[in-house]
Amino acid sequence: MDELDLTAAESKAKYEEIKDYVSEHTGLKVCSLYIAQVKAKCGIIERANYNLPKSENSRQPKCPPEKETAIRDALEHFCMI
């Protein structure tokens, strides 16, 4: 097996790594919710979320366009999209 081959787990960046990359390159602070929303838009499958809201009609903030662009850049940098 070649030493340069990556496993699926090694090719994924952690949320903290994405936050750090966005902060370094754009100065924006992003939260895990925004990263999860952008990943879902890109078709990246996340594991099941067990921390669901108690009411069905609860509202979540939407990711602003400038932060979405910065997160997409980070996902591209880490070769996730």
The pair of structure tokens assigned to 32 is 């895990």
Indicate the number of domains in the chain: 1
pLDDT tens, position by position, 22-67: 999 999 999 999 999 999 999 998 888 888 778 878 888 999 999 9
Cβ(63)–Cβ(71) below 8 Å: yes
Q: Is residue 78 one of the residues assigned to a domain?
A: yes
Domain assignment of residue 18, given as a range = 13-45+62-81
pLDDT at res. 3 = 52
pLDDT at res. 23 = 98
Q: Is residue 26 one of the residues assigned to a domain?
A: yes
Cα-based angle 59, 64, 65 (whole degrees, multiple of 5): 140
